[in-house]
Structures are given as C-alpha cells and as structure tokens.
Amino acid sequence: MHRTLTIAKREFRGYFNSPAAYIVVCLFLILMGFFFWNPFFLINRASVRGMYDLMSVLLLPTMPALTMGLLAEEKRTGTIEILLTMPVKDGEVVVGKYLAALGLLAVLLLCTLAYPLSVSTLGRLDWGPVFTGYLALLLEGGAMLAIGVLASSWTDNQLIAFFTSGIICFAFWVVSRFLPFMPQAAASVVEWLSFDYHYQDLARGVVDTRNVFYFLSVIGFSLVLAFRSLESRRWS
Amino acid sequence: MNDVMIEADGLTKRYDNVLALDRVSMQVRKGEVLGFLGPNGAGKSTTMKILTCFTSPSEGSAKVNGCDITGDSIGVRSSIGYLPESTALYHDMLVLEYLEFVAEMRGITGADTRKRVKIVVEETGLGDVISKEIRALSKGYRQRVGLAQALIHEPPILILDEPMSGLDPNQAVEIRDLIKDIGRQRTVILSTHNLAEVQIACNRVLIISKGRIVADDTPEGLRDRAGKARCVVTVLKKQDDESFLKGCEAAFAGLPGVDRARRIEDAENGELSFELLPKGDDDLRPSIFRAAVDKGYTLVGLRREGQNLEQVFRELTTGPTAGGKAAA
C-alpha cells in the first residue's frame, strides 16, 4: 500500500517537473473562463449550471493528456524495468499512477472553485447542486483517467495513448447524442452505457448510487484491464 | 547446499516462435562474481529479466535466495539489486530525489533512508552530482546512479546487465573496479560482451550462445581448456576463386596433427589466412611450412599463438556444432 502512494507521489510531483501539467491546467482554465462568462450575463442568473456541461467537454481532451505518458513513457524509455523489478505488485503500480492523475484532476477542479465562489457574490447560489456537480465531474474525469491509464498501458507511444483514450472517452460521451437514431432496444442499452446519462443526473443534484456505481465500475474495469495488460509482458 | 544463491533449472523462453532461451540451468553461489558472456541476442538479458521477475519463463523454474521466481516474486525482487541494460532512470528527477524514491519503494523508511542514501552515494562516488537533474548527467554518472539504486537496499544479489557498455575506457575501469569492490560481500551476475572485463572482474564465466550455456568455468580454466596453441598461416592468393581456397583449406586440414583448419577473415587483400588447431601439443609450424612448399603456396605469414579468452569465446559461440560440443 505504501508503495502505491510512493508511486503516486512521484508521479504527481513529476507532473509539475515539466510544463505539461501547467499547460493542461492553464488551457483548461482559460477555455473555461472564456466559455463560462460569455453567456453568463446574457442568462443573468446566479447559477453555475452551465459550467458542468462545459467542463465535461473540456475534460475530453485534457484527461487523456494527463494519462498518456503514465505507462507509455516508462515503456518507451525503459524505466519500467527498474520499476517493475522492485518489490511492488503490478496492481500497485497501476493504482499508484492512477491516483497521481486523480490528484491532478482534483487540483484542476479546486482551481475552478473560483467560479461558483465568484458567482455566489453576485447572487444567491444554491450550493447543493454545486457539490454534486463536482462529484459528477470527479467521477466522470476519474473514469476518463482510468481509460487513459488503460490506453497508456497498451503502447509505448504517448501520442497513440492520447488519441486512443481520447477516442474511447469521446465515444462514451457522444454516444448519447445519437440515441434518437437508434432502435428502441439498442437505445436504452447504449444510453445506460453513456457517460452523459449518469452524469446529467448527478449534475442536476440527484445523487443516485447507481450513477456513482456506474462510474466506479468503469474505473475499476479499466484499471483491472490495465493491470492485465501490464502483466501480459511476462508471457509475451 | 545452503550457500546457493541462484538456482535456475531448465529455463526456456519463447518469443512467439523464436527460442530465446533453451533449457538454461545454473547455480550461483554466495560471493561469486559471475560473468555472463555471449554475443548480442544470445539470451543474456532474457535470463536476467527472468531472474529479476520482469518476465516469466515459458518453461523451467528458478530460485533466488530461496524464493521461487513465480511463487514468491516479491521475495525474489527484494533480494536483488538490478541494473537493466538500458539504465533508464527518471530524467526529470534529481539524483537525491531519485535515490530517496527508490529507497522508499524498497521499504526503507525514516532515518535509514538518509543513512543508506549517504552510503551508496559514497560507494558510487556520486557526491558531486547529488543535487543535479539526472538528465544533465553524463553516461558514466548515470551508470553510477543506476548502480546506486541497485545497492540502496543492501541486496545479497546484484544483477547487472552490461554495466560497462557505452562508457569511455576510464569510466569503464572505474565502474569495473567498483563492481569488483561491491562483489566482495555479494553475489554478482554481470553480463558483458567485453572479455577483458570478465577476466578482471569475475571469478566465474558462463558463456551463452543461441540461448544455451556453452561453457561454465573460471576465466583461467576456460583459457586452459582451449589452451592449445593455434597456428595462423597466411598465403598469397594464386587465383581468385573458391577452388584455390578450398584446396588450401583441405591441404592444411589434412596435415598430420591438425584437428581443424578454418579460414579467418583478417587477411590483407590478395592474401588468405587460415587458423589451424592442433590435436595435441605439437608445434605445427614445420609441417605447415613443408606442406606449403610441396603445394607451391607462397607463405607470407606463419605464427603460433596461445589462445586467449577471445578466441575461446569465438570458438564457442560461432559455428553450427559449437553449442552441443562444448556443452557435452
């Protein structure tokens, strides 16, 4: 367990050793500021409702950028050999790396707290949906990060990892937009699989354990697959 | 025996359909510095990766410090310090940061961390670069950091994959002496394709070729074993065709007392060189000279030399029958 945290700590620090994390966080915040304040005064309501949809879109390119290097870069440079010959289980490595990325997502979300805080000075803000909204973002972002770790375990090329996880996350996100064109039976299954379906409820302020469970399963499933993929080096 | 630190039994590794390792068995005892020798792609790294539990064997088993590599891989990895061939380190970390990270991963905590880091930094001579970024270090210093991370938990066993490759001669000598020092209290396996290093640093040599162990001896023993003096004959080429070459080879091979004759490549233009190995200890030079005169060859070079490790190595790792014969 302590090794998981050691890895997470190193990886988290690593984000700040290179400009990558700063670029991702800054870009995220700049785009958010632009798209958030633009319509805000048109609507003229002290609500951050629009913020969550916006953020869930912005997560799509940023989450894969945070995870693309986690395993792929170790494989490319060969550092993985020293890492995996230390007395550490493959699973601990996967979880440690995932936690580091989750930590950065948390930092990112903390930065965006500026929005609800400043909105609350403009009018009465209902904090309940704000917190469930953040919970939804943390869960959705967390699911994307887990998919990103998985994609990173498949290749030793960061760019491929970025696009692979980007495409998978985008598919999970966009699929709900196509529901009207699908046959009834397929639509309900696909809807249940989509990020949006579970995300919207949470963002609206309804904490349904099924939605939480959905995201946790995506995370768990992806990380187990990533663990398997890491382990498969032994047999190839 | 209790002092057997590493015991491998029939290790076989297949990558797809390529046989990288073919039933490799060996024992390494406490305090041995074992040189793992072989051409590139012979299976040295594969063996090391199996022993360090980075990869698993297709067949066979091994025990390291009493722990099974499949059953108790954490135990195995705890007893080994490993320097992989790539010496890949996290370039964005400071040397000190990196060593502390490794120490933490190795389960060293609190005040011990500082103590151990200090010791390995002294041992490997890293004092001057401790607060530098790893990316800024020269290859030689990176190699030292690699060694330092392998030593930090005082492992009873060190596995070093080509620790001296890519270094300039001065650095190589320093690292070699360092390894020799380290090897006094530990069991060391190091792989290399530099024979001089093996002769100096190791007290036992394993030669591996095409995935099989073809020799297992002390450096001195190896030299003695193939210690028969060989003769190198150089004649002028009469005409530029295969038949002349074959004729020469046959003539030399047919001499009494000659075990084997083989063309070697180091001849000048217009010359042909052959290497003749005697059956016994007889000096072949007189009969070679007479044969050359009889056949009308223009002899331009004839020398007799004791075999060094390099020739033994070449002999054991080239030729189709080399493997089976030497292992027998």
Residues of B in contact with A79 (CB under 8 A): 88-90
Query: Measured between alpha carbons, how far is B217 from B204 in angstroms, rounded to an integer?
Result: 6
Averaged pLDDT for residues B154-166? 88
In the prediction, which pLDDT does B58 show? 92
In the prediction, which pLDDT does A160 show? 96
Q: Is A86 on the interface with B (CB under 8 A)?
A: yes
Looking at mean pLDDT, say which of A16-25, A27-36, A156-165, B294-303 comes out highest.
Answer: A156-165
Which tokens in the block code for residue A221? 């499933």
In the prediction, which pLDDT does B215 show? 85
In the prediction, which pLDDT does B97 show? 94
Looking at mean pLDDT, say which of A52-66, A95-109, B239-253 comes out highest.
Answer: A95-109
Structural domains in chain B, CATH included, are: 4-224 (3.40.50.300), 228-306 (3.30.70.260)
In the prediction, which pLDDT does A50 show? 77
Which tokens in the block code for residue B204? 């036992």
Query: Measured between alpha carbons, how far is B224 from B218 in angstroms, rounded to an integer?
Result: 10
What are the angstrom distances between the C-alpha of A216 and each of A86, A200, B176?
29, 16, 52
Residues of A in contact with B15 (CB under 8 A): 236
Query: Which residue from B310, B286, B289, B309 is spatially nearest to B298, judged by alpha carbons?
Result: B289
ipTM for the predicted complex comes to 0.89
Please tell me the total count of domains within chain A.
1
Q: Is B110 on the interface with A (CB under 8 A)?
A: no
Which tokens in the block code for residue A72? 């792929």
Which tokens in the block code for residue B244? 């002349």
Which has more pLDDT, B56 or B183?
B56
What are the angstrom distances between the C-alpha of B309 and each of B41, B220, B232, B283, B324?
20, 9, 17, 21, 19
Q: Is A77 on the interface with B (CB under 8 A)?
A: yes
Which tokens in the block code for residue A176? 């709900």
User: Quick check: B137 pLDDT over 50?
Assistant: yes
Query: Do B88 and A79 count as a contact with CB atoms less than 8 A apart?
Result: yes
pTM of the model: 0.82
In the prediction, which pLDDT does B226 show? 57
Q: Judging by beta carbons within 10 Å of its beta carbon (0-12, 13-18, 19+), is residue B316 exposed, middle or buried?
A: buried
Averaged pLDDT for residues B236-257? 79
Q: Is A232 on the interface with B (CB under 8 A)?
A: no
Query: Do B88 and A3 count as a contact with CB atoms less than 8 A apart?
Result: no
- Which domain range does residue A23 map to? 2-235
User: Quick check: A192 pLDDT over 90?
Assistant: no
Inter-axis angle of helices B95-105 and B139-151, nearest 10: 30
Averaged pLDDT for residues A101-106? 95
Residues above pLDDT 90, as percent of chain B: 34
In the prediction, which pLDDT does B1 show? 47
Testing the interface with B: which of A17, A85, A88 to mutate, by most B Cβ within 10 A? A85
Which residue's entry shows tokens 């887990």?
A146
Query: Which residue from B233, B226, B228 is spatially nearest to B286, judged by alpha carbons?
Result: B233
Q: In this structure, are residues A103 and A61 in contact, taking their beta carbons and an 8 Å threshold? A: no
